[in-house]
């Protein structure tokens, strides 16, 4: 099988995993949050943290590797406009994703504590959830832009 085709396939699958896992995590966390039931939130957040660890982290690591190898094999410079912008957006997305992972752990812990004590969710939970929710929008839009750049490869002059 053609190594370039394998790299492209792995790179596209990685992009699908990033987009799909991100959208799925956001959906399930939002639905759990709307229940206002600490038991449901704790359970859902536990699964979300595991999904982020297994799927998102794997894709986050493999995407730049497969992207670099593809660019190298196809003779594309990393300073080419659409590639450079993709890399900048990738870093931008990561700046939102890293705190979100920490926030998900905290949301899970708040919900576990509330469920275990038979209490309502504390104000700190609700404050963190709003931050978590707000972080999702720029990161999601950036991932969509990266995918558009990968597909369209516009002629951009950044440098």
For 45-91, how does the pLDDT look when each residue is reduced to its tens digit (9 = 90+)?
999 999 999 999 999 999 999 999 999 999 999 999 999 999 999 99
Q: Determine contact, residues 115/42, Cβ cutoff 8 Å.
A: yes
Report the pLDDT value the prediction gives residue 159, as an integer from 0 to 100.
63
N residues, the chain:
159
Confidence (pLDDT) at 157: 82
How confident is the model at residue 3, as a pLDDT? 87
Q: What angle (nearest 5°) sits at the alpha carbon of residue 69, between those of residues 67 and 71?
A: 70
What is the residue extent of each domain of the chain?
3-152
Q: What value does the mean pLDDT of the chain take?
A: 95
Q: Which is nearest to 85 in space by CA: 155, 22, 23?
A: 155
10 Å Cβ neighbour count for 130?
10
Q: Max CA-CA distance within the chain?
A: 60
- What is the rounded distance in angstroms from the CA atom of residue 156 to the CA atom of residue 54? 34
The predicted pLDDT at position 1 comes to 81
**HSE, side-chain direction, 13 A CA sphere, residue 84:** 9
pLDDT at residue number 38: 98
pLDDT exceeds 90 at position 158: no
Q: Are 128 and 106 in contact (CB under 8 A)?
A: yes
- What is the per-residue pLDDT across 3-51, written as a single tens digit (0 to 9) for each? 889 999 999 999 999 999 999 999 999 999 999 999 999 999 999 999 9
pLDDT, average across residues 96-106? 95
């Amino acid at each position: 099988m053609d190594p370039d085709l394998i790299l492209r396939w792995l790179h596209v699958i990685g992009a699908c995993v990033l987009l799909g896992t991100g959208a799925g995590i956001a959906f399930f966390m939002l639905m759990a949050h709307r229940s206002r039931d600490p038991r449901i939130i704790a359970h859902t957040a536990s699964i979300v943290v595991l999904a982020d660890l297994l799927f998102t982290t794997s894709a986050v690591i493999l995407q730049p590797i497969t992207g670099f190898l593809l660019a190298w094999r196809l003779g594309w410079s990393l300073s080419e406009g659409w590639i450079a912008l993709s890399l900048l957006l990738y870093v931008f997305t990561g700046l939102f994703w890293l705190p979100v992972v920490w926030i998900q752990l905290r949301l899970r812990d708040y919900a576990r504590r509330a469920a275990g004590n038979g209490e309502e969710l504390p104000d700190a939970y609700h404050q963190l959830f709003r931050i978590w929710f707000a972080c999702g929008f720029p990161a999601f839009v950036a991932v969509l832009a990266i995918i558009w750049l990968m597909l369209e490869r516009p002629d951009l002059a950044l440098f």
